[in-house]
């Protein structure tokens, strides 16, 4: 490789860095716009769901795909469910209340008022 080739490679624009995840597995979070909260059980560094799912989000609320997305064991006043939420739409939950979701005992051990401890068999 010539020095001109090396120089060309070195001066090329760097690949933009993906935003870092602000939340961790086990943290209790609340949706910024909608009335639900949940515990994070998985994180995707960027959007990893179907285009059909993404297109179903109303355009004024549709988040950018190039940010972390979180899988939550979620709850609201009516139900428990699994949610997939962009980082921009999550905030820390300040209630210190546990999440009432039937899948929590199979994934997490204990709750310390801020976060759940992942069961050993789910750590990697």
Among residues 93, 87, 16, 88, the alpha carbon closest in space to that of 45 is found at 87
pLDDT > 70 fraction of the chain, expressed in percent and rounded: 85
What is the structure's pLDDT at 69? 98
66-86 pLDDT, tens digit per residue, is: 999 999 999 999 999 999 999
19-35 pLDDT, tens digit per residue, is: 799 999 999 999 999 99
- Name 40's bridge partners: 72
pLDDT at 10 over 70: no
CB 69 within 8 A of CB 23: no
106-117 pLDDT, tens digit per residue, is: 999 999 988 999
Q: How many CA atoms lie within 13 A of 51 on its CB side?
A: 0
What is the structure's pLDDT at 16? 61
DSSP state of 34: S
Distance CA 77, CA 122 (A): 28
Distance CA 31, CA 38 (A): 8
Distance CA 33, CA 28 (A): 16
Task: Please report the domains of the chain, with CATH numbers, ordered by start residue.
Answer: 20-122 (2.30.30.390)
27-61 pLDDT, tens digit per residue, is: 999 999 999 999 999 999 999 999 999 999 999 88
């Amino acid at each position: 490789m010539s020095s001109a080739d090396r120089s060309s490679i070195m001066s090329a624009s760097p690949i933009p860095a993906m935003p870092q995840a602000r939340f961790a597995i086990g943290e209790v979070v609340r949706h910024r716009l909608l009335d639900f909260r949940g515990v994070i059980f998985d994180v995707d560094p960027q959007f990893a769901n179907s285009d059909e799912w993404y297109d179903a989000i109303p355009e004024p609320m549709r988040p950018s795909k190039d940010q972390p997305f979180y899988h939550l064991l979620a709850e609201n006043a009516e139900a428990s469910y699994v949610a997939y939420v962009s980082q921009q739409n999550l905030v820390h939950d300040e209630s210190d209340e546990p999440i009432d979701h039937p899948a929590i005992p199979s994934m997490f051990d204990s709750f310390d008022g801020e976060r759940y401890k992942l069961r050993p068999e789910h750590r990697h």
